Amino acid sequence: MNPEQFEYAAVLALEDGATFYGRPFGAVEALRAGRRGEVVFATSMTGYQEICTDPSYRGQMVVLTYPLIGNYGVAPGDDESRRPWLSALLVREYSEAIYHWHAGEPLDRYLARHGIPGLCELDTRALTHHLRTHGTLRGVIRAYPANEAPNVAALVAEARAVRTVTELNVVAEVSEGAPSTEWPAPDDPEAPRVLLIDAGYKHTIARQLASRGLRVVVAPHDITLREVARLRPDGVLLSNGPGDPEGVQHLVAITRALLWDLNLPFMGICLGHQLLGLAAGARTSRLPFGHHGANHPVREVRTGRVTLTSQNHNFQVESASIPMQSGLYVSHVNLSDGSVEGLAHESLPVFSVQFHPEGAPGPEDNHHLFDRFAVLVREHAGRPARLVLAG
């Protein structure tokens, strides 16, 4: 595109020297100061509001591969967390016209209100192909007057200095405060209670649990084992979240204690799945460009059943590193690259999945996993737990 056709244009400069031009929208003023982050692509055809408010995108600029974005606006109540978290939203065509009865405001106004910039009129196909070839790259976006040429060399140098999510304490940024029962079950004070440890959880996860008659207590990422024991949950779900699992060793320790010191059902999702692997003694590593978007095929190993999944992660549990003595086995694999998509324990009520079974956005093929967890919680409700009161 010709950047001179706009009052303000913007350039995305990547650390390898590639540049892409577009027109800013949303919080345009934020781009005049520059916006930084890792650049990833997501393949969902719908669900841009859920993507924007997924805390797992903290520290990242998200390229949407579907070409038309914004045409159904932003709907009240569809956010997956208390605010949008991504660094910037990069799209091909932004629609200023809204065609949906449930829309509350345009995406442009929503992003501007939350200080999130967007970039449209961008060649997202070329950018996605570049990321697919070279992997996740650090980038900088800066807006400038249309009659002013950007200093591309300086922007590329700035991109090379961007801190990756491995270097940032992103889980602490997105996790909420003190424990609170935010998702009560229907009128049953004796309903089993699930502790949802918030490493960056999505609200639909809590909704799925509450819809199965479970009381959901949301706890911050830095909860101690003593606080877990005091809350006396009947099960624990360790949520999704951003960043490198190696960077949240506190949660690795908590997970290890939950598995072997407390007699509690455990379910991990995304980051929670990776933390389960680390707690069992496995290794994690970064995927070249991660899995972001919908319709990723996953096979359940023991049944051969294939489902379509919603995914958003940059790291994986390395299959060959899982200790045999841990009792964990690989329950699901990704059909595209063979990476681990699920773990389960041979004898304990413990399992995890790398994908998002709540499917917001994305396929809902795996809602049954919440049924499975609810059954485990009810089977163990009321049984005495080995509550180790460690600090």
What is the model's pLDDT at position 2? 37
258 and 120 in a common domain: no
Determine which one of 52, 270, 291, 292 is catalytic.
270
237 and 152 in a common domain: no
370 and 313 in a common domain: yes
Residue 137: inside a domain, yes or no?
yes
Q: Which of 126, 145, 163 is the last residue of a domain?
A: 163
Tell which residue, 147, 209, 151, 152, has the closest CA to residue 181: 209
Question: 323, exposed or middle or buried, with CB in 10 Å at 0-12, 13-18, 19+?
Answer: exposed
178 and 38 in a common domain: no
Assess whether 100 carries a catalytic annotation: no
Residue 387: inside a domain, yes or no?
no
47 and 115 in a common domain: yes
Residue 277: inside a domain, yes or no?
yes
The pLDDT confidence band at residue 19, using thresholds 50, 70 and 90, is very high
182 and 119 in a common domain: no
What is the model's pLDDT at position 390? 42
What is the model's pLDDT at position 14? 98
Q: Could you tell me the CATH number of the domain that includes residue 43?
A: 3.50.30.20
Supply the mean pLDDT for the chain: 92
The pLDDT confidence band at residue 261, using thresholds 50, 70 and 90, is confident
219 and 143 in a common domain: no
125 and 53 in a common domain: yes
What is the model's pLDDT at position 184? 63
Q: Could you tell me the CATH number of the domain that includes residue 255?
A: 3.40.50.880
Beta strands in the chain (DSSP E): 8-14, 19-26, 35-42, 60-64, 68-69, 88-90, 93-94, 117-120, 137-145, 180-183, 193-198, 215-220, 235-238, 266-269, 284-300, 306-317, 328-334, 340-345, 350-353
195 and 50 in a common domain: no
Count of the separate structural domains present in the chain: 2
Residue 389: inside a domain, yes or no?
no
Q: Look at residue 1 and tell me whether its pLDDT is greater than 60.
A: no
367 and 264 in a common domain: yes
Residue 228: inside a domain, yes or no?
yes
Distance CA 239, CA 243 (A): 13
Assess whether 358 carries a catalytic annotation: yes
232 and 100 in a common domain: no
Residue 386: inside a domain, yes or no?
no
139 and 57 in a common domain: yes
The dihedrals phi and psi of 248, each to the nearest 5 degrees, come to: -125, 65
Residue 210: inside a domain, yes or no?
yes
Domain range enclosing 142? 3-163
Mean local confidence (pLDDT), 40-47? 96
Query: Per-residue pLDDT tens for 193-214?
Result: 999 999 999 999 999 999 999 9
Tell which residue, 115, 55, 64, has the closest CA to residue 89: 64
Assess whether 270 carries a catalytic annotation: yes
Residue 195: inside a domain, yes or no?
yes
The dihedrals phi and psi of 175, each to the nearest 5 degrees, come to: -70, 145
